Structure 1
Amino acid sequence: MHIKGRKARYTVSAVALAGVAALALSACTTSGSTSGSTAATGGTVTVAVVNDLTSLNSQTPQGNLDTNGQVGYLNGSYGTGFQYIDNNFKIVHDDKFGKYEKTSDDPLTVKYTLNKNDKWSDGQPITADDLVLGWAIASGYYDSATLDDEGKVTSGTQYFSIAGSTAGVDATAFPTVGDDNTSITLKYSTPYVDWELVNPIAQPAHIVAKKAGLSSAADLTKLLKGLPKGDKSSPAAPDATLKKAADFVNTGYDITAFPTDKDLLVSSGPFYVSAWTPGQSITMSKNKYYDGGLKPNVDKIVFRIIPDANAQVTALQNGEVDIINPQASADTLTALKATSAKVLTGDQVSYDHLDLNFGSTVFQDPKVREAFLKTIPRQQILDSIVTPVNPKAEVLNSQIWLPSQDDYAASVKQNGSDKYNKVDIEGAKALLAGATPSVRILYNTNNPNRVDEFQAIQASAAKAGIKVEDAGSPDWSTLLPGGNYDASLFGWISPGAGTTQIPQLFSSAGGGNYNRYQGTNDLAIKTQTTLDTDELVKLEQQIDKQTFADGYGLPLFQLPGVFGVNARVDGVKYMGNQNGPFWNFWEWSVKSSSK
């Protein structure tokens, strides 16, 4: 395992497309860590999380939730495999799982070679067939679909549905398989800025093949190799077997109870899901076949579902959980500091935001969009939620950058966000010219911060004659892709590296483009092939400016982060990305006297 020098330039962020770091739906960076001389093995670590499990595939639009992604991080279906991102937002290669290297710049060519001992948790070998499937999911190679403004297929076929974007990986040809079926080589027809984040490990090919009616992973590769690249201008009839395989990957991992079908639990990572009681806990046990570099000390990791921050602190104090990562508030910090727990704090690469649904009837009129956004009391929301935790926090005025990042200030000067610096009720009334529109807002009713945001917006908008209706739900994350609302309040949390988040959000085919925004499609796609840093910043600034001009929505604030860790667990270090405290699970240990 070795560290590469590449680091995040900027961040925003629900989770990732197959194999490429992307944004995930989420429930001052100072670094801190718990440390100790004991490196005991065995035992169980229990971690409190806000959201429950909804899918064992976090890389679909409906599965793109922080808890799903953290489970995926532990079982190898997201964020681990050939590499991971450390808490300095550097890309770390795990050469014990497999090596990858750029073998040519022109054309860009990258070779991935698996460790010969890599196995799935059911004992089956991990092979190039698995890498070919991961590539097929990430690249959209076989898609021939034309989409309308609402993202619906009007002609052709879309096979795999991903939370991120195919931009970048879509410039690859069918992989070259070699080294006795343990390697693939990807050749790009255009440059790709985030090639080093491509991680072609997703679902097990032998399981996907079985669900599609094939006898082996090799048969699935043979099918994929024999099918032509999708052509929007002349779409072929859908291949029934590939469609069946894709449908399984897209929805077959969505669960409401612990699966009776054990095929869904097969893992390539250090852990696999061994139990789940919905609404209460998820248990992950060590995968005895795992042979990568992230071998854990502990035998089990248990997720306890505790949405309320104060209840998390109480559970930590009572010894019911070992680690908490609640939404930070002044009350939470005060309560935590009154315990004996280690408190780790820092910024998150995460932000709350209000998005307008461009598929909604009420927001077809740009004047209504602007009027509604003029009523959003962003400073009031910041002061009530964030300022008590971070007095230096400020309203977020960019859709691309966070305040601590180098290019933030320059973009804010040019992006037109100053139009919404203050609540302007009279300006909103003038734009509405007597109209009294209704706006239905989707948000998480189990999240106190989102409830507060909704109520503040509802009260302010009413002053301009806008009726804000409550479309909140505890099932908000599964409702986001459906678009049955006018606006949404939620958070993005980022992996902290790369640029693939931009087409994920701001291109028409982006898996995170839940609000059906079309205004920056070409610019967003172009960011993936722009290697010149200055030119890339210019593209990002154009996107930032265009989204404000179009009334895309409003960023609210960057989220502060806090971990609480009790004394029985060593090795936890602060991390501000979507993996939170789980990011270095292999370094955790339970003190031998307290297993």
Structure 2
Amino acid sequence: MGWGRRARRTSRRVWAVLAAGTLAAGLLAACSGKDQVPSIGYAVDALPATYNGGSTLGVSGGAAALFPRVLTGFFYTGPDGQPIADTDYGTAKQVPGDSQTIQYRLNPDGVYSDGVPTSCDDMVLEWAARSGRFTRPGGAPMFDAASTAGYADIERVDCQPGAKSATVTFRPERHFLAWQTLFTASDLMPAHVAAQAAGVPDVVKAVQSGDQAVLEKLAQFWNTGWDLKQGTADPKVFPSSGPYRIESVGDTDGIVLVKNERWWGNSARTARIVLLPKNIDLRKKLADKAVAVVDIGAGSVKDLSLSGFSAQQVPSRGAEQLVLATSGVFGSADARRGFALCLPRQSLYDRFGHPGFDVKSGLGSGTLNSRIVQPDSLYYPIVTNAAEKYRNGDAAAAGQSRALGANPTVRIGYLAPDDRRAQTVATIADACKAAGITVVDAGAPDFTPTELGDKVDAVLGGTAGAPGPSGSSTGVGATVSLHSGQGLNFGHYSNGRYDSLTDQLAADDFSADVLSADTEAENLLWTDMPSVPLFATPRTVAFGAGLLNGIVSPTKAGAGWNMDRWVLQR
């Protein structure tokens, strides 16, 4: 089982800009007489709960936007949402053979900040956690993985314990187009830490033997052992494989990253980065001049002043959407369709979907009419016909839906405070009132998408319900969030035909097949209505005066994708 997208983008523009920025930084430092500031504040509307970016909690908490230069991998997400090879960590290449096979070679100099060398043991642990093959009695997965996309298609990872190379072989009947989304930054966790905590002498042998008791111990730590708590981050538990390492975690001071002196690549340009997540008082931090980079949902902070910043409003690869429960008031597809009928999607886009920008085509150019095909895809105009019925809202038709029951109440949850999302819920409430549907704003400062179906009936968020940065050009997260049995499938939607279609799309890039599968899948989703796409989530990205090498990245990686290149001069 696996998912992928056909988007392929070049990274030449990115590196040209970075090269120019690096040169400019050198010239400015030499000529301007300005001093470099030793610490940079980075405000981003993620709410981290764990270091483990491959877990459900890690993805929903925005680990990909916080730790891409702390935990590195063979690839990372670039500013256009594309996978970019990180040759500092190692190399990966597809080799000929009857089965899809990838040869990985880790950098011989690679070492964690605690002095333990990086090795293929980390890959074996990642595969074990993300493959879905290790379950408890009754069938529940041992590891709380966000998704098994691609990893479930792997037959084996050939690795000698402690070695600097590995061969990954996929099952003969499977092929995963988006293989560059595997073993990536913020996902690859230090296997030696899990092994020590679980009392397991050899992770590789434990996985190869399939010992249930031993794997359960590893899974317990993988699921919760890297949870972030206030105080100094134990370097033995939170070692880094990147240019920065975590020094401390605090409620008011954010997460402090400092240079990793054991990093074997180019040294970070700034000694200290302070990650300021969603629960930090952004206005106060701005007033204190403690912020130089801002990456938040457009309009999410009311009356926010970014005086002195170079700010851009941009559409992102994240899909602003309502993810619906498949239980309670939304226990039937008829009920979900009835609710979708009262949603004024066009009005929502007009009011909230393109603040400060007006694009004619592609991302951000109109209501979002697909969940799995991106608006700048050639297939998008062809596969979105089924969405037209749900463009403007039809309260009368929604009111006639008996499946919703008498005087239904729909609770919409999101991570608060968020002014744009609060206004979105209020607009929906006004529109649906005429249909006899009561919409309740259930936004909360501690909200998580896992509350769907229990405390709330719908989640308002980005791709896979993420509160902050989301989306990529590969679209794996969008597709997997509706696939049966996945951690990111918070609504617990299940349709075997959708699963088959997306499994096919993961392996087949022949245009006629892709168009046919995309069209059928999207028609099916508009019938089953597990979610309602609204528009491409608009983002506000701002760089303070004197900040060099800042590059907008409206993706799950956020503006921090290249934070180790940032320089602030004043």
TM class by shorter chain equals: 0.7 to 0.9
Alignment-derived partner of residue 562 in structure 2: 584
Alignment-derived partner of residue 282 in structure 1: 255
Distance 1:179 1:162 in 2: 23
Q: Is the 8 A contact 2:121 2:162 kept in 1?
A: no
Alignment-derived partner of residue 438 in structure 2: 467
Alignment-derived partner of residue 489 in structure 1: 460
What is the percentage of aligned positions where both structures have the same residue? 25
| Superposed displacement of residue 306, structure 1 | 5.6
Alignment-derived partner of residue 296 in structure 1: 268
Is residue 2:18 matched to residue 1:46?
Answer: no
Distance 1:374 1:452 in 2: 19
- For 1:436, the aligned partner's letter is N
Is residue 2:94 matched to residue 1:96?
Answer: no
Is residue 2:142 matched to residue 1:162?
Answer: no
Distance 2:190 2:161 in 1: 19
Distance 1:84 1:8 in 2: 17
Distance 2:449 2:527 in 1: 29
Normalised TM-score (structure 1): 0.82
Alignment-derived partner of residue 349 in structure 1: 317
Distance 1:507 1:306 in 2: 29
| Superposed displacement of residue 163, structure 1 | 1.1
The change in CA–CA distance for 1:42 and 1:265 in structure 2 (over 3 A counts) is farther
Q: Is the 8 A contact 2:194 2:222 kept in 1?
A: yes
Q: Is the 8 A contact 1:503 1:525 kept in 2?
A: no
Is residue 2:60 matched to residue 1:65?
Answer: yes
Q: Is the 8 A contact 1:120 1:289 kept in 2?
A: yes
Q: Is the 8 A contact 1:506 1:524 kept in 2?
A: no
Distance 1:319 1:580 in 2: 21
Aligned with 1:540 (options 518, 532, 537): 518
| Superposed displacement of residue 84, structure 1 | 2.0
The change in CA–CA distance for 1:291 and 1:330 in structure 2 (over 3 A counts) is closer
The change in CA–CA distance for 1:470 and 1:315 in structure 2 (over 3 A counts) is closer
Distance 1:155 1:479 in 2: 21
- For 1:119, the aligned partner's letter is V
Is residue 2:178 matched to residue 1:209?
Answer: no
Runs of at least 5 residues in structure 2 that lack an aligned partner in the other structure = 10-15, 30-35, 360-364, 464-468
| Superposed displacement of residue 524, structure 1 | 2.3
Deviation digits for residues 284-321 of structure 1, max 9, x if unmatched?
111111224x642111111124669xx75775475221
Distance 2:53 2:325 in 1: 23
Q: Is the 8 A contact 1:61 1:481 kept in 2?
A: no
Distance 1:274 1:181 in 2: 29
Is residue 2:270 matched to residue 1:272?
Answer: no
Is residue 2:375 matched to residue 1:403?
Answer: yes
Alignment-derived partner of residue 543 in structure 2: 565
Distance 1:262 1:82 in 2: 23
DSSP 3-state at the match of 1:112: strand
- For 1:114, the aligned partner's letter is L
Distance 2:358 2:80 in 1: 24
The change in CA–CA distance for 1:424 and 1:10 in structure 2 (over 3 A counts) is farther
| Superposed displacement of residue 276, structure 1 | 1.6
Aligned with 1:453 (options 387, 399, 424): 424
Alignment-derived partner of residue 113 in structure 1: 105
RMSD of equivalent CA atoms: 3.1
The change in CA–CA distance for 1:213 and 1:553 in structure 2 (over 3 A counts) is same
Q: Is the 8 A contact 2:283 2:304 kept in 1?
A: no
Q: Is the 8 A contact 1:119 1:268 kept in 2?
A: yes
| Superposed displacement of residue 264, structure 1 | 2.9
Alignment-derived partner of residue 514 in structure 1: 490
Distance 1:96 1:553 in 2: 39
Alignment-derived partner of residue 389 in structure 2: 419
Deviation digits for residues 514-536 of structure 1, max 9, x if unmatched?
11111222222332222424323
Q: Is the 8 A contact 1:402 1:558 kept in 2?
A: no
Alignment-derived partner of residue 181 in structure 2: 197
Distance 2:53 2:370 in 1: 27
Superposition map of 1:328-343 within 5 A? 328-329=298-299, 335-336=305-306, 339-343=307-311
Distance 2:118 2:500 in 1: 37
* Deviating 4+ runs (over 6 angstroms): 31-34, 330-334
Aligned with 2:225 (options 252, 262, 281): 252
Alignment-derived partner of residue 441 in structure 1: 412
The change in CA–CA distance for 1:260 and 1:128 in structure 2 (over 3 A counts) is closer
Q: Is the 8 A contact 1:97 1:291 kept in 2?
A: no
**Which stretch of structure 1 is more off in the superposition, 239-248 or 396-405?**
396-405
Q: Is the 8 A contact 1:328 1:389 kept in 2?
A: no
Q: Kindly tell me the number of residue pairs found equivalent between the two proteins.
A: 535
Is residue 2:501 matched to residue 1:501?
Answer: no
DSSP 3-state at the match of 2:144: coil
Distance 1:335 1:245 in 2: 47
Distance 2:279 2:142 in 1: 35
Superposition map of 1:361-372 within 5 A? 361-372=328-339
Alignment-derived partner of residue 37 in structure 1: 24
Normalised TM-score (structure 2): 0.85
| Superposed displacement of residue 404, structure 1 | 3.1
Superposition map of 1:366-405 within 5 A? 366-392=333-359, 393-405=365-377
Distance 1:306 1:100 in 2: 35
Distance 2:140 2:539 in 1: 42
Distance 1:364 1:324 in 2: 40
DSSP 3-state at the match of 2:368: coil
- For 1:197, the aligned partner's letter is T
DSSP 3-state at the match of 1:74: coil
Is residue 2:533 matched to residue 1:555?
Answer: yes
Is residue 2:4 matched to residue 1:9?
Answer: no
Distance 1:541 1:427 in 2: 25
